[in-house]
Amino acid sequence: MTGDALVARLHELIRDVPDFPRPGVGFKDITPLLADAEAFAAVVAELAARVDGPVDLVAGTEARGFILAAPVAIALGAGFVPVRKAGKLPGPTASQQYELEYGHATVEVHPFTVPRGSRVLIVDDVLATGGTAGATIRLFEECGATVVGLSFLVDLRFLGGRASLEGHRVETLLDVL
């Protein structure tokens, strides 16, 4: 399943949940997609196929990015690095803070899992404002890695996140205008 057939299937399987996790927010529920083995495998294959050039590490952002990034890493023959929320990793961490509409948040990695010069692909489920993705880019650059691309299942185009990632290759499977 590729191309238009995959996009049509994604429209069927990704649920829109209004007012979750709080009023005014529209949540994209990917659990029906994950439960469909054929569609899930097609998403992983398509995300991996869109990578341009070699990748050493695939980074997945907490939490749903883990679910997509780990199998993409396996498909590419690359390592997987979880990008965690602050305080979730033991020992020394590298961290980056970013702004949210209601405060700030921090992402962290173990720097010893990111060798200098590594080529990193960042994978997440949804591109919204670009705040998490931008902080994740800075985090890997701080570790001496090169971010070679970002891949998302869904791009919420109306939130403008792609514009904040100028200069980086961004791939998405489903655009919501």
Q: Among this protein's residues, is 62 annotated catalytic?
A: no
The answer to whether 135 and 86 are in contact (CB under 8 A) is no
Residue 109 and residue 61 in contact, taking contact as beta carbons nearer than 8 Å? no
Query: Of 34, 91, 89, nearest to 65 (Cα)?
Result: 34
Query: Chain-centre distance of CA 139, in angstroms?
Result: 14
Quick check: is 64 catalytic? yes
Annotated catalytic residue within 22, 101, 116, 166 = 101
* H or E element, residue 101: none
Interatomic CA distance for residues 76 and 72, integer angstroms: 6
Residues recognised as catalytic = 64, 101
